[in-house]
């Protein structure tokens, strides 16, 4: 299927690795032009070079930076002349329980995950072309809490409701807003979380037993779905929270 992404311009945050990089790769493979970002300059420069610098610009910025969103949008418009959407990957907050996680971790995560994501969505909506598509990378914790990830459990459902609210507000202008809810995708972040058990291989085996497809997803599988949701082919899809979890969620 041709996703009609050629020469369309997107911002992808958190794109130096993991789900963000996989989505960026899928978009570039379909002919899109990108501005990608992450906090570390060396890693985002390396990611841009891997994707191909003729179609990709890498910028080191933190989603928590109040000026970062406008900088990303200005770069896209200055470089490519237009903007058609964004994949807003807001990273994984510090693991921990609701009782033990300190308040500074909550505040830092709120600035980065919640306010940072909202700022980027607003900036893209203001400057995007007709048919702009915005997708938030959230988590299955939007629908069901995940043990040991209290901050994610607290913030991501709220951001999902903000995404649905934006879909209502921006829909009349033709802008679409959706959320992607990855489950257990085989990224470095998930390996780190499995490693906290002391036996990561056994942790993975036990987790896979709870997934109907009996395996972790791959970043590439996530990236292909993200590219579709951002594309003009998904032109009647908005306000949706889309699980990408191999069937693991037991909720509707």
Q: What is the pLDDT of residue 188?
A: 80
Q: Reduced to 3 states, what is the DSSP secondary structure of residue 210?
A: coil
> What is this structure's pTM?
0.95
Within 8 A by CB and 6+ apart from 84, the residues are: 8, 9, 10, 128, 129, 131, 132, 133
| Top-tier CATH class for 9-185+218-243 | alpha beta
Helix axis angle, 188-195 to 200-209, nearest 10°:
110
Question: Over the stretch 98-156, which tens digit does the pLDDT of each residue have?
Answer: 999 999 999 999 999 999 999 999 999 999 999 999 999 999 999 999 988 999 999 99
Tokens 């009996």 sit on residue? 214
Q: How far apart are CA 83 and CA 124, in angstroms?
A: 8
pLDDT in tens, 31-80: 999 999 999 999 999 999 999 889 999 999 999 999 999 999 999 999 99
């Amino acid at each position: 299927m041709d996703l009609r992404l050629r020469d369309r311009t997107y911002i992808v945050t958190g794109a130096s690795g993991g789900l963000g990089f996989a989505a960026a790769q899928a978009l570039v493979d379909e002919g899109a032009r990108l501005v990608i970002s992450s906090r570390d300059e060396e890693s985002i420069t390396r990611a841009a070079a891997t994707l191909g610098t003729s179609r990709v610009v890498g910028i080191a910025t933190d989603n928590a930076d109040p000026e970062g969103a406008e900088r990303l949008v200005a770069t896209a418009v200055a470089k490519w002349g237009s903007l058609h959407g964004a994949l807003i990957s807001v990273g994984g907050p510090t693991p921990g329980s609701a009782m033990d996680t300190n308040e500074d971790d909550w505040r830092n995560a709120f600035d980065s995950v919640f306010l940072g994501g909202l700022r980027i969505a607003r900036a893209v909506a203001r400057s995007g072309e007709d048919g702009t598509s915005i997708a938030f990378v959230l988590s299955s914790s939007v629908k069901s809490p995940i043990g040991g990830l209290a901050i994610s459990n607290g913030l991501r459902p709220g951001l999902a409701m903000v995404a649905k609210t934006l879909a209502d507000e921006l829909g009349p202008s033709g802008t679409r807003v959706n959320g992607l809810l990855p489950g257990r995708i085989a990224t470095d972040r998930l390996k780190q979380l499995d490693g906290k058990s002391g036996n990561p291989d056994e942790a993975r085996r036990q987790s896979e037993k709870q997934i109907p497809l009996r395996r972790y997803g791959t970043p590439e599988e996530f990236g292909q779905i993200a590219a579709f949701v951002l594309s003009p082919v998904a032109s009647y899809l908005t306000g949706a929270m889309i699980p990408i979890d191999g069937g693991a969620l037991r909720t509707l």
